[in-house]
């Protein structure tokens, strides 16, 4: 056995210099097999994680366990599996044996058991049986409705509601978001492509330019990290002159609504104020900007639409969701229209989840960093700031608890520098 030891680790954790290859050496043993032994720093924000994942079978299994934990309201377990998956995503080569993993951080007993099962048997028995379980299937279907979270889904399941058909006939009064979610269920459970995101960006840019010349629109979320598909489209809007952005959201939303672009929208007002003497950090760093959660009506040219859906039959929702294996009883006839020629065809538009956020320029660097993700990368940045640097990071500000003051930044690079971290570009924040 040749043990090719690729040590990736920080020169100094507190100095924050991230991943380096320190050395490579071979340990000669009996036969000719060569395997790499990995070492990575423990915070995801110290690592570079591109979209080129060499261990998808392992990370898919761990991510499913994470998802199931989150859907079951077990966030602690969810984070543990997310961290384990993120470590596997950052490895430069496919893992073939357990010996390669000794010394890696964030791999708990449970995650290691799952990895071993996948390496030895090609799949994890636990994950496979979870995927087939009634509980998981029902949680997936119900939380697939926009506006339905884990707690609501669990309550409905306890009442015996497992399908959309049962939900519709349950007599439950759904709120406005959930009604829209049910109505556009199929569309919203179909991934959004980069091309669709760009088409929406064009519309948003035109609207923003017409209501506030000079304002800037930035595509954030997964698409800024280079993803080709996403579950929604996230935008951040600002203006180079502080204060000019006030009132912008309502104008943008009114204009979009008047043009028939919005199938649903809910705007929340900005409630964040930086105070001079205390951190005043919001309990959740996501909810203090002026923010509009919307469902966009995106026109689709028919040939493109047809090509995109390929030869898939349109009779059930599960066909369009590919291999999820989930059964729903969505009446997808609502997704068909009669063409003038009398032929059945897809409707000429689709519903897409779009998030709009407005930030003042003074907070823009923090906002763009906070909204670029991934979710785990953000969580790890905040954990690093708190535990290693005694600082509080949000998508509005960075507060130094020891110096008792806010640290200003006008770029993401400056924030990484304040945190003593090497700058990680968006395309390598796919933890």
Q: Which residues are catalytic?
A: 232, 234, 355
Residue 144: strand, helix, or coil: coil
What minimum distance in Å lies between the beta carbon of 92 and Mg ion? 27
- Identify what 172 binds: Mg ion, ligand DCT, none; CB under 5 to 8 Å per kind: none
The piece of 3-11, 74-82, 265-273, 372-380 that touches ligand DCT (CB under 6 A) is 372-380
Rule CB under 6 A: say whether 380 interacts with ligand DCT.
no
- Identify what 318 binds: Mg ion, ligand DCT, none; CB under 5 to 8 Å per kind: none
Q: Which of 70, 187, 232, 428 is in the footprint of ligand DCT by CB under 6 A?
A: 232
**Contact positions with ligand DCT (CB under 6 A) in 264-303:** 286
The piece of 88-96, 302-310, 368-376, 406-414 that touches ligand DCT (CB under 6 A) is 368-376
The piece of 72-80, 307-315, 337-345, 366-374 that touches ligand DCT (CB under 6 A) is 366-374
Q: Residue 108 — φ and ψ, nearest 5°? A: -75, 175
Q: Which of 181, 222, 279, 360 is in the footprint of ligand DCT by CB under 6 A?
A: 222
Rule CB under 6 A: say whether 234 interacts with ligand DCT.
yes
CA–CA gap between residue 146 and residue 295 (Å, rounded): 10
CA–CA gap between residue 149 and residue 170 (Å, rounded): 18
What minimum distance in Å lies between the beta carbon of 311 and ligand DCT? 26
* Cis peptide bond upstream of 192, omega within 30: no
Could you tell me which of 298, 302, 222 has the C-alpha nearest to residue 260?
A: 298
Rule CB under 6 A: say whether 429 interacts with ligand DCT.
no
Answer for the pair 373, 231: CB distance below 8 angstroms, yes or no.
no
What minimum distance in Å lies between the beta carbon of 419 and ligand DCT? 16
Q: In terms of CB distance, is 47 or 162 closer to ligand DCT?
A: 47
**Residues of the shown chain interacting with Mg ion in the complex, contacts defined by CB under 5 A:** 221-222, 230, 232, 234
What minimum distance in Å lies between the beta carbon of 25 and ligand DCT? 38
Could you tell me which of 203, 105, 107, 187 has the C-alpha nearest to residue 145?
A: 187
Number of residues that bind ligand DCT (CB under 6 A): 13
Question: Residue 351 forms beta bridges with which residues?
Answer: 297
- Which residues, 6 or more positions from 296, have their beta carbon under 8 angstroms from its beta carbon? 200, 233, 261, 262, 263, 351, 352, 353, 354
The piece of 52-60, 148-156, 220-228, 307-315 that touches ligand DCT (CB under 6 A) is 220-228
Q: In terms of CB distance, is 124 or 181 closer to ligand DCT?
A: 181
CA–CA gap between residue 239 and residue 57 (Å, rounded): 43
Residue 28: strand, helix, or coil: coil
What minimum distance in Å lies between the beta carbon of 158 and ligand DCT? 25
Rule CB under 6 A: say whether 230 interacts with ligand DCT.
yes
| Exposure of 165 in the CB half-sphere (CA atoms within 13 A) | 8
| C-alpha separations of 63 from 19, 127, 232, 236, 428 in Å | 23, 10, 19, 28, 19
CA–CA gap between residue 370 and residue 217 (Å, rounded): 16
Could you tell me which of 192, 172, 5 has the C-alpha nearest to residue 104?
A: 5
Handedness of CA 179, 180, 181, 185 (dihedral sign): positive
Q: Which residues here bind ligand DCT, judged by CB under 6 A?
A: 221-222, 227, 230-232, 234, 286, 371, 373-375, 378
């Amino acid at each position: 056995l040749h043990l090719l030891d690729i040590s990736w680790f920080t020169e100094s954790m507190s100095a924050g210099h991230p991943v380096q290859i320190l050395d490579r050496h071979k340990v000669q043993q009996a036969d000719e097999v060569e395997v790499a032994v990995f070492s990575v720093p423990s915070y995801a924000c110290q690592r570079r994680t591109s979209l080129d994942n060499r261990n998808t079978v392992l990370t898919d299994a761990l991510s499913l366990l994470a998802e199931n934990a989150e859907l079951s309201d077990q966030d602690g377990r969810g984070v543990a599996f997310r961290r384990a998956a993120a470590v596997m995503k950052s490895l430069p080569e496919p893992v073939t044996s357990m010996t390669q993993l000794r010394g890696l951080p964030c791999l708990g007993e449970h995650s290691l058991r799952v990895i071993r099962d996948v390496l030895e048997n090609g799949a994890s028995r636990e994950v496979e049986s979870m995927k087939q379980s009634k509980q998981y299937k029902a949680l997936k279907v119900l939380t697939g409705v926009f506006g339905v979270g884990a707690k609501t889904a669990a309550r409905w399941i306890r009442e015996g509601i497992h399908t959309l058909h049962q939900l519709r006939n349950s007599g439950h009064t759904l709120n406005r978001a959930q009604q829209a979610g049910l109505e556009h269920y199929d569309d919203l459970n179909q991934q959004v492509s980069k091309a669709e995101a760009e088409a929406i960006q064009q519309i948003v840019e035109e609207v923003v330019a017409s209501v506030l010349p000079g304002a800037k629109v930035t595509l954030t979320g997964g698409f800024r990290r280079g993803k080709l598909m996403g579950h929604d489209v996230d935008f951040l809007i600002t203006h180079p002159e502080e204060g000019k952005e006030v009132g912008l959201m309502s104008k943008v939303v009114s204009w979009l609504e008047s043009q028939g672009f919005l199938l649903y929208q809910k705007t929340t007002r900005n409630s964040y104020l930086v105070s001079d003497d205390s951190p005043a950090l919001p309990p959740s760093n996501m909810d203090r900007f002026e923010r509009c959660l919307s469902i966009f009506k995106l026109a689709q040219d028919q040939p493109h639409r047809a090509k995109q859906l390929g030869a898939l039959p349109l009779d059930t929702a599960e066909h369009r969701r590919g291999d999820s294996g989930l059964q729903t009883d969505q009446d997808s006839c609502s997704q068909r229209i009669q063409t003038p020629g009398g032929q059945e065809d897809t409707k000429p538009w689709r519903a897409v989840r779009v998030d709009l956020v407005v930030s003042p320029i003074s907070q823009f660097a923090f906002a763009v960093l906070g909204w670029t993700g991934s979710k785990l990368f953000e969580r790890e940045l905040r954990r690093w700031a708190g535990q290693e640097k005694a600082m509080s990071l949000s998508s509005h500000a960075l507060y130094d608890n020891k110096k008792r003051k806010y640290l200003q930044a006008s770029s993401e690079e400056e924030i990484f520098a304040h945190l003593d971290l090497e700058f990680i570009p968006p395309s390598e924040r796919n933890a």
